[in-house]
Structure 1
């Protein structure tokens, strides 16, 4: 069912190689350095869904689900 697929925010940073590892990803999120759709997000395990844009350190990625 659409909208039920998600990935946790810290995993987006790790999988997209925007950060060195999960621990570092959790740290930069808690420091307020990551945004989701232009809004600072402090929840490391925030469920990011298709269509949302995650940005960190000048890089951004739009979430898409596999067919």
Structure 2
């Protein structure tokens, strides 16, 4: 069953951004420490799959989810 949680589009002004940077930029998490912990603990998903790499390069259209909030990378 597809996730019915609404998706918020966040413009990054470019073609790619690292996962850790995006979580802070989009206002999902406030600090680098919180970002690191959430990613390492497996609480963050990218396109529906857990990704524990803070430096993962996100591309336009990728959907990142954390604690019931979903944000999509947009230009």
Flag as ranges the 4+ runs of structure 1 deviating above 4 A. Answer: none
Number of aligned residue pairs: 62
Structure 1 spans left out of the alignment, 5+ residues: none
| 1:33 matched to 2:43 | yes
Provide the residue aligned with 1:52 in structure 2. Answer: 62
The CA RMSD measured in Å over matched residues stands at 1.3
User: Please, what TM-score do these two structures have when normalized by structure 1?
Assistant: 0.86
User: Please, what TM-score do these two structures have when normalized by structure 2?
Assistant: 0.77
**1 or 2 for the larger relative contact order (CA 8 Å, sep ≥6)?**
2
